[in-house]
């Protein structure tokens, strides 16, 4: 046990050092995302004020013009107060960072353009690189000799990888909190217009449900894909695991299926925020089964693997 604790601490310290630039990259990514979202909310506020000014002029003129048709898309803003478009709550920013992409339909009958989720793609590529960055750095097998246990070596690496993924999600959470107005609750008019989220069955006035669904579900999905990446990397090469991991994330954008774990990383795919979406309980169950299967496969592979290969 003492050997495992020493190995775990060794891996923990060195994984933090090894991934420090990835932490910086994640901060940059999330800050840029929040700045962009803030700008979008600013544009929405301008639309609201324009609608208010237009309606005031209409009342003063006492007549309607063709221009009224042009502003019909923003007249709904008049039903709300200006406070709905200022600040942005912690939930609003969190949804922007973690929403992923709405349900993709191969036959788009509405003609709406596809919203490419650059935040999701950048975030998931970063997580895929993080998983292989330390675990297989310089093959990473030299500590097996000192530990004299392949399984203990494996579990030390897996636990530390989960910790590193948790740190990235924690950075996202803190960034959303710093940019927000430090309030809970969701502004559906903002999320509906900017994020295409027009419903919320989550109690956003309490922190625990917000953390569990918006961050916890995505974290579990990321851990699931990381485990699959580790399995492929042990079986073949580190680069192969990275490619498989990124491929799962990308394919999950277009294949809306419960067996594609990338859907767990997109909170907009749940039935809480999207009609016909997945139940979070089902996604959690599938992720747990995949994680358990991947770990069992890892143990079998590491026991038979030629460490000098």
| Residue matched to tokens 């996604």 | 283
**Which residues neighbour 165 within 8 Å (Cβ) at sequence distance 6 or greater?**
127, 130, 131, 219, 222, 223, 226
Task: Find, among 161, 190, 202, 16, the residue nearest to 87 by Cα.
Answer: 190
Q: What is the pLDDT of residue 74?
A: 47
| Residue matched to tokens 């690189």 | 129
Domain ranges of the chain: 2-37+87-304
Higher pLDDT, 252 or 72: 252
CA dist., res. 265 & res. 225, Å (int): 10
For 248-287, the pLDDT digits (tens) are: 999 888 888 888 888 889 888 888 888 888 899 999 999 9
Angle subtended by helix axes 118-135 and 150-179, to nearest 10: 150
- Is residue 265 within 8 Å of residue 220, measured between CB atoms? no
Using the predicted structure, report yes or no on whether residue 142 has a pLDDT greater than 70: no
CA distance between the termini of the chain: 28
Read off the pTM.
0.85
Using the predicted structure, report yes or no on whether residue 133 has a pLDDT greater than 70: yes
Concatenate the DSSP letters of all residues of 163-185 into one string: HHHHHHHHHHHHHHHHHS-S--S
CA dist., res. 99 & res. 120, Å (int): 8
Conformational region of residue 100, where left means phi above 0, alpha means psi within -120 to 50, and beta covers everything else:
left
At 160, is the pLDDT very low, low, confident or very high (cuts 50, 70, 90)?
Answer: very high
- Is residue 273 within 8 Å of residue 267, measured between CB atoms? yes
Task: Find, among 153, 189, 154, 167, the residue nearest to 75 by Cα.
Answer: 189
Using the predicted structure, report yes or no on whether residue 7 has a pLDDT greater than 90: no
Higher pLDDT, 306 or 12: 12
């Amino acid at each position: 046990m003492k050997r495992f604790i020493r190995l775990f601490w060794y891996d923990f310290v060195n994984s933090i050092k090894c991934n420090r630039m990835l932490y910086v990259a994640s901060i940059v990514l999330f800050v840029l995302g929040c700045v962009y979202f803030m700008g979008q909310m600013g544009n929405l506020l301008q639309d609201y004020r324009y609608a208010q000014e237009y309606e005031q002029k209409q009342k003063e003129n006492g007549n309607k013009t063709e221009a009224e048709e042009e502003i019909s898309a923003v007249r709904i803003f008049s039903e709300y107060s200006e406070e709905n478009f200022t600040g942005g709550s912690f939930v609003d920013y969190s949804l922007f960072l973690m929403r992923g992409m709405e349900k993709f339909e191969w036959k788009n009958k509405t003609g709406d353009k596809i919203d490419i989720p650059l935040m999701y793609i950048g975030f998931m590529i970063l997580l895929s690189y993080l998983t292989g960055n330390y675990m297989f750095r310089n093959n990473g097998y030299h500590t097996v000799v000192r530990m004299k246990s392949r399984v203990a070596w494996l579990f030390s690496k897996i636990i530390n990888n989960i910790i590193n993924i948790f740190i990235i999600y924690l950075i996202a959470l803190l960034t959303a909190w710093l940019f927000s107005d430090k309030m809970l609750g969701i502004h559906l008019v903002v999320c509906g217009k900017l994020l295409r989220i027009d419903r919320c069955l989550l109690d956003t006035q309490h922190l625990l449900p917000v953390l569990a669904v918006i961050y916890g579900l995505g974290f579990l999905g990321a851990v699931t894909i990381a485990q699959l990446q580790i399995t492929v990397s042990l079986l073949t090469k580190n680069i192969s695991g990275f490619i498989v991991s990124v491929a799962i994330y990308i394919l999950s954008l277009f294949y809306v299926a419960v067996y594609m774990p990338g859907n767990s990383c997109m909170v907009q795919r749940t039935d809480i925020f999207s009609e016909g979406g997945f139940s979070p309980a089902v996604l959690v169950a599938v992720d747990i089964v995949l994680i358990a299967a991947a770990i069992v496969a890892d143990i079998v592979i590491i026991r038979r693997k030629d460490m000098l290969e």
